[in-house]
Amino acid sequence: MAETKKLMRALAGEVMDVPPVWMMRQAGRYLPEYRATRAQAGDFLSLCYNPDLAAEVTLQPIRRYGFDAAILFADILLLPQALGADLWFVTGEGPRLSTITSMNEFNALKGVGDIDEVLSPIYETVRILARELPAETTLIGFAGAPWTVATYMIAGRGTKDQGPAHKLMAENPAVFDALIDLITKGTIEYLSKQIEAGAEVVKIFDSWAGSLKGEAFTRYALEPAKEIITALKARHPNVPVIAFPREAGDKYIGFARATGADCVALDNSVSADWAATNVQVDGCVQGNLAPDHMVTGGQALTLETKRIVKAFSKGPHIFNLGHGITPDANPDNVQIMIDAIRG
C-alpha cells in the first residue's frame, strides 16, 4: 500500500506543498488539559509511568490541533533511571539524579538487559497509542542521545555549560567512555522495544550537542548517533530516524549522511535559508520556528511561519519549532501557526 501518512511521506523524501507539522513538547504545561491530567497523576514521573494517563496527554494535542504526528509522552531521563540512577524532579527547577564521577559509581549501574523492568510501562503507552491514534497520525518514539543523557548522569542535574561532563571527559576518560557506551547500548535496546511496541519513527534528542567542539563532536555526538542508527536499521530497516544535534551550527552539514539519519531536526539558531542550502540538500529536515513566537504571537508569528515554509519548500520538510514549546505559551498561537502552514 502506498504510504498515506504525511509525516512518513516527508521522511521518505517527498516534497509537499503543505508540510506535515508537530511540535516538540506539544503535550505540556501550556495546555490546561495537560495540567489537569498531570494533577490527577500526582507528579511528572508518575504521569510518565502511568500508561493510560501518558497516552491521554499524548493524545490531547492531537485532538485539539490535528497534528500530523504524536510523540510518546515520556522523558529522556527514564533510561538513566532504568540503568539504576536515582531520579526525581524538583518543581520549578528540573531534574535531579545521583551522580556518576568514578568507576565504582559506574560499576554500580545495571546492565542493558535489566532496563525493561523499569521501562515496560513506556512500551505499554506506545501500544495504547498505536491502537488509539487516528489513521493519518504518525507515532514517534524517542530517547536522549548518549552525550546529553551523560551530562545529566554525571552532573546530577541540568547545567548551563555541561562543565562536569566536560571535566570527566578530560580527567577520567575511561569512566566517561564506559558511560557513553552503556547509554548507547541501552538506547539501542530502548528504541528497539518502542518500535516493536508500535513506534513508527524514532527521534534522538542531543540537546547539548552544541557544547561539543571539533573532534569531541565527532566522537561523542556523531559516532554514537551513527552506532545507534546503524543498529536500529539492521533490526528495523523501514523505521525512519530523526536526529536532533541541537545547536550543532555548521556541523549540521553532512550529519544525516554521516550517521544514516533520515532527517535532521534544526534548532532556531540557524537560518532556514542557510539550512535549505546546506543541510536540506541531503534530505528531509525538521524545524525551525523560534518557540518564543508561541508566547508573543501577533503578525510576526504568521509571517515567520510562512517564511520558514517557503524557505524549505524545494525539499522534504517537517514543520516544527526549533526547541520545545514553553509553559507560558498561548494555546491560541499554536492554531495560528497551523493555519499559516495549512492555509
Binding site for ligand CP3 (CB under 6 A): 24-29, 38, 44, 71, 73-77, 94-95, 142, 144, 158, 205, 207, 324
**Known catalytic membership, residue 152:** yes
Q: Given 30, 49, 152, 220, which residue is catalytic?
A: 152
- Residue 152 or 255: the one with the smaller Cβ distance to ligand CP3 is 152
- Residue 129 or 341: the one with the smaller Cβ distance to ligand CP3 is 129
Angle formed by the axes of helices 146-155 and 173-197, to 10°? 120
**Known catalytic membership, residue 29:** yes
- Residue 17 or 93: the one with the smaller Cβ distance to ligand CP3 is 93
| Distance spanning both ends of the chain, measured CA to CA | 29
Q: Given 29, 35, 64, 307, which residue is catalytic?
A: 29
Q: Given 25, 65, 190, 252, which residue is catalytic?
A: 25
For the bound state, the minimum distance from the C-beta of residue 27 to ligand CP3, rounded and expressed in Å, comes to 5
Grid coordinates of 250 = 555548521
For the bound state, the minimum distance from the C-beta of residue 238 to ligand CP3, rounded and expressed in Å, comes to 23
- H or E segment to which residue 91 belongs: none
For the bound state, the minimum distance from the C-beta of residue 44 to ligand CP3, rounded and expressed in Å, comes to 4
Q: Using an 8 Å Cβ cutoff, are 316 and 284 in contact?
A: yes
Q: DSSP states of 26-52 as a string?
A: -SSTTSHHHHHHHHHHSSHHHHHT-HH
Q: Using an 8 Å Cβ cutoff, are 242 and 286 in contact?
A: yes
Q: Given 68, 75, 267, 282, which residue is catalytic?
A: 75
**Known catalytic membership, residue 127:** no
Residue 216, Cβ density class (10 Å: 0-12 exposed, 13-18 middle, ≥19 buried): middle
What is the C-alpha separation between 97 and 270, in angstroms, rounded? 32
Q: Residue of minimal CB distance from ligand CP3?
A: 207
- Residue 38 or 311: the one with the smaller Cβ distance to ligand CP3 is 38
Q: Given 30, 34, 38, 123, which residue is catalytic?
A: 38
Q: DSSP states of 118-163 as a string?
A: HHHHHHHHHHHHHHHS-TTPEEEEEEE-HHHHHHHHHHSB--SS-H
Which of 165, 158, 144, 337 has its CA nearest to residue 244?
Answer: 144
- Residue 133 or 276: the one with the smaller Cβ distance to ligand CP3 is 133
**Known catalytic membership, residue 38:** yes
Which of 318, 228, 240, 233 has its CA nearest to residue 272?
Answer: 318
CB within 8 Å of 300: residues ≥ 6 apart: 293
Helices (H), 219-316: 223-235, 255-259, 272-278, 293-296, 298-311
- Residue 26 or 311: the one with the smaller Cβ distance to ligand CP3 is 26
Catalytic positions, written as ranges: 25, 29, 38, 75, 152
